[in-house]
Structure 1
């Protein structure tokens, strides 16, 4: 057992990080871990923190390893924003924190799981801390790609790229760690395209599997403009419903807890001005979090939809590449019969454009409608 046991399919990256933990001469004050969603960036970052804090450099069994991995170690700080961005105020707090000496371990480790969400002002606030590193402080930044990180930050960090893990490795992890039966684990790993977190959810949540099936099925149900508009509305509704369900209980608990901390009466019809201002700030934060969650769900739905067109193109090419939707082969074959390779590529481009537009704050429903109209099948299909 080692601290790296859940970092799968990343042998080269693990070797580099372990070497740095073992040998101070190989250490760098700032690391940038990049890789596609689900590749395990944050898992690798936490494992690295465990290896740095562990007296045996990552045994995976001691208190230092366990607390570093779960984010409760006194000298390991994990920033995982649930909003749309990491703002300058939070970046200043991190810069100040980085100047402190470790309290119990050999290193102070600051992990930013969403470094791509640093605003330019927030990145500027971190710049001095990265340019003039404090001994025994290590920054570990995570992002999908180098290009997603502000250039002043990435130029001062050592880049390490993670790759998409093999389907079989993800399935084995689900089976070993979560007790998922192997057939279900293989289905979930394949359907999630090796995204570990999503695979775990698909394996354990029947509602998530049903939602994915409905999204994938849209590829063969859009013939006319009316059906395209309906499909776009369905996609938006799926994202909104899941976001609302995820937020409802948590938002209420956060409001109740804030009122308790402020000593306010939760049953009062009106609150004093200073309490109303705190509640308004909390509501803004919750709204930003809900917006991000809705966009993430929507983007994942579009990735699922894209996978059907990808599979149909694979069938055309005859390449010996595994299908993402192997469990739904009849649907993939139907789409391959209905559309030529050029039309399949056009559909994939339309889905990619919708993802980009939504990422640029275009109203999701408008972006989805434009996309769905481009996905119409011939009436004879």
Structure 2
């Protein structure tokens, strides 16, 4: 298997990247390498595999056989341990200019193994304006063997000056059949379960895998999709909002608790807490308190991001529910994401109008926009629930 074999339903993009990897190999051998460039922008909807495609391309660049998938180079890239690969994952809501400048300094180094120095920047759209300006300068004048791989939902999410200097790779949402096939063949999921998970995830492979393999993920989905029929009064709306926000907070806390503890313990150790001996004390040395405060701020930002991501996933579940209702009301011959809830969909379709369904979809999308603008989650979700009330 080659490194591009795991990209589901992306034949056109794989063709482009394969040719570019071959051109990159020509450059390494001293050739011209037409078709290879120093900056790439991977875009596509959630679940399309932007980061997976960028990582596969990085492996193809660093592999002597253009991404064979089984050599040490490919293995190191895929697990994130290759010395010539710098992976950037913004942990918080944004990525600042200080972090970007540090990244640019690291990117300026020559490749240790003589091929390429690859910078894989996930969620590049989270860069602040100052960080984006610093990134632009690095992309405008890169070292000879440095390649930037930026990932973002859409090209418009980045500054026009950055995207104009990148070669665009646009990924598409895989079909339900393609996702189901991957779950069945690579994860050993029973065909019926694979079809359910692929349909419910609407082409999002990671979410489909979670629904197929994780009972807790299926329970969370059922809880979210029970919301529409429970909104019979103001009290029920407030309760549903509190429950949804609290669930997101609990998921974020569970995801970060162990990591936060490890990071804090390591930082305290670096700054000498618990050290003994002449001239040493058991507290933090000078500068330790400031570094600890900075770490706590990053951890809070990361928890907020995870909470927002969890809430957004739940809101998308509601969008798909009402989209299915609208499809039934209009008699559209499209696949229903929530075909397993056909009875509930049918009840909503019969007792409401298409106009009401569209207003409910708009209410969910407004809530997503408000959360992006840092509106208090409880207030934003309560407002949405009241707009969804039956």
Deviations 1:232-264 (A, max 9, x none): 111111111111111222212222222223331
Say if 1:250 and 1:98 are closer, same or farther in 2 by CA, change over 3 A: closer
Q: Distance in 1 between matches of 2:102 and 2:191?
A: 45
1:165 aligned counterpart, secondary structure: coil
Deviations 1:199-243 (A, max 9, x none): 222222211211110111111111222211111111111111111
Q: Distance in 2 between matches of 1:256 and 1:321?
A: 52
1:335 matched to 2:348: yes
1:5 aligned counterpart, secondary structure: helix
Deviations 1:245-297 (A, max 9, x none): 1122221222222222333139x997556332222221111100000000000
Q: Distance in 1 between matches of 2:13 and 2:344?
A: 38
Q: Distance in 2 between matches of 1:155 and 1:284?
A: 34
2:34 aligned counterpart, secondary structure: helix
Q: Which residue in the other structure is 2:20 paired with?
A: 20
Q: Distance in 2 between matches of 1:199 and 1:207?
A: 13
Question: 52, 76, 81: which is aligned to 2:85?
Answer: 76
Q: Distance in 2 between matches of 1:359 and 1:281?
A: 23
Q: Distance in 2 between matches of 1:358 and 1:3?
A: 36
| Contact 2:10-2:174 within 8 A present in 1 as well | yes
1:111 aligned counterpart, secondary structure: strand
Say if 1:143 and 1:280 are closer, same or farther in 2 by CA, change over 3 A: same
Q: Which residue in the other structure is 2:29 paired with?
A: none
* 1:184 Cα deviation after fit: 2.1
Alignment of 1:98-109 (within 5 A): 98-109=107-118
* 1:349 Cα deviation after fit: 0.3
1:319 matched to 2:332: yes
Q: Distance in 2 between matches of 1:357 and 1:273?
A: 41
Say if 1:58 and 1:270 are closer, same or farther in 2 by CA, change over 3 A: closer
Say if 1:259 and 1:177 are closer, same or farther in 2 by CA, change over 3 A: farther
Q: Distance in 2 between matches of 1:327 and 1:205?
A: 17
| Contact 1:217-1:331 within 8 A present in 2 as well | no
Q: Which residue in the other structure is 1:124 paired with?
A: 133
The worse-fitting range, judged by mean Cα deviation, of 200-209 and 348-357 is 200-209
Q: Which residue in the other structure is 2:305 paired with?
A: 292
Q: TM-score, normalized by length of structure 2?
A: 0.92
Q: Distance in 1 between matches of 2:184 and 2:35?
A: 35
Q: Distance in 1 between matches of 2:126 and 2:67?
A: 29
The worse-fitting range, judged by mean Cα deviation, of 185-194 and 324-333 is 185-194
Q: Which runs of 5+ in 2 are unaligned?
A: 24-32, 276-280
Q: TM-score, normalized by length of structure 1?
A: 0.95
* 1:105 Cα deviation after fit: 4.2
| Contact 2:272-2:282 within 8 A present in 1 as well | no
| Contact 2:273-2:283 within 8 A present in 1 as well | no
Q: CA RMSD in A?
A: 1.7
Question: 366, 373, 381: which is aligned to 1:360?
Answer: 373
* 1:145 Cα deviation after fit: 0.5
Deviations 1:168-216 (A, max 9, x none): 2222222333333222222222222211122222222211211110111
| Contact 1:239-1:294 within 8 A present in 2 as well | yes
Q: Distance in 2 between matches of 1:105 and 1:67?
A: 16
* 1:122 Cα deviation after fit: 0.6
Q: Distance in 2 between matches of 1:212 and 1:222?
A: 17
2:6 aligned counterpart, secondary structure: coil
How many residues are aligned here? 376
